[in-house]
Amino acid sequence: MEKNNFFQSQQVQDFNKSIEKFHLGPLWHAIPDLMHHEPEPQTIAYLWKWETLYAKLMEAKDIFTPDRGGERRAIYLQNPGLKNREPWGWASTTQTLYAAVQLILPGETAPSHRHTQSALRFITEGEGAYSIVQGERIFMEEGDFLTTPQGLWHGHSHTGEVPMIWMDCLDIPFIYGIGGTFFEPYPEKIEPPSVPDNYTAKRYAGGMVRPISDRKPKVAPLASYKWSLTQQALDGLSEFEPDEYDGFAVEYMNPSTAQTSHPNIASWMQKLPTGFVGKAHRHTSASIYHVFKGSGYSVINGVKFEWSQGDYFVVPNWAWHEHVNTSNADAYLFSCSDLPIMEKFNLQRDEAYEENNGTQTITDTFIPLLP
């Protein structure tokens, strides 16, 4: 009897059924689903238009406040490939990361809390609001990158005059999946300041030279990475040849450890110069992108995803992808990925696309949903 016919035989099917009541399972039946020849992510490539996100945030502001309907007015990016994966897939942007857009209005306060998930924020619009992290009020400006490593008290408040919007990214699905979730509200509404405003950013006003006290590893020696210094770093790279896949890219890092700013999340800012046409590659880490400035498109597994300022899109793990800048100015892409997780487990692999001079053939174009 052939192998496949044997596994489909009545004798095997009856035996498989007979062990179910003992909460046992047949490995010979499960191997094809458990042991893929290469990653087959349930995350799918997807793009959310800024017009849709902004319209829904403006609707939400009249319904939800930090005092009514939850501590945070945030709308998360639900990956269609994961929303039916229980119990945590309904709040996942990739299989390991959660991303959302959050809005806070003048006069509002989102209470302090802490949890075992690491969080980051990329500021996209507005001014006048601050996060308070472990007693430091961090006033936010467009293009700033903020860190909130696991276990630190953090809350938000707005003393300005215009709405403030930012991107959140946390490792919620990963921490939930391994059973490590803890959450604790602050005893009072919001933690009071215990150090001067923008304390850590002032300590690093000179860029990537560190105070000697930070030679010993700290969880968050730098809580806010200012856009002006990030752009300065990218401009300094621009006299050289760009990376053939990612253009000019810099990584936000913990200056006391030289590791990623978050233990489970890598964060990059990329500049794609005018006319940049990237080559395709793939890797086992999955990425969430925010288009900070510019317009262009990315080809993901042969599908063209056209993006413009404010949009978000996902590149699943082990998906071929390449980026193209079609605007008449530099394009800036902020991204976060689970690269540190893959590296910790020795799972990170990279592969270049060898066909067609390194570029994919476009077989389809993604059509986004609009309000």
Return the percentage of the chain with pLDDT > 90, whole number.
88
User: Residue 217 corresponds to which amino acid?
Assistant: P
Q: What's the pLDDT tens digit per position in 8-20? A: 889 999 999 999 9
| Token pair belonging to 88 | 């945590």
Q: In what order do the strands lie in the sheet with 321-325?
A: 350-352, 281-283, 321-325, 296-300, 303-307, 364-365
Q: What's the pLDDT tens digit per position in 48-62? A: 999 999 999 999 998
Instruction: Quote the pLDDT of residue 75.
Output: 96
Q: Distance between terminal CA atoms of the chain?
A: 57
Instruction: Quote the pLDDT of residue 20.
Output: 93
Instruction: Quote the pLDDT of residue 2.
Output: 61
pTM of the full predicted structure? 0.95
- 188 alpha-carbon distance from chain centroid: 30
Q: What's the pLDDT tens digit per position in 167-222? A: 999 999 999 999 999 999 999 999 999 999 999 999 999 887 899 999 999 999 99
Q: Does 126 score more than 90 pLDDT? A: yes
User: Residue 26 corresponds to which amino acid?
Assistant: P
Complete DSSP assignment for 105-140? -TT-EEEEEEESS-EEEEEEE--SEEEEETTEEEE-
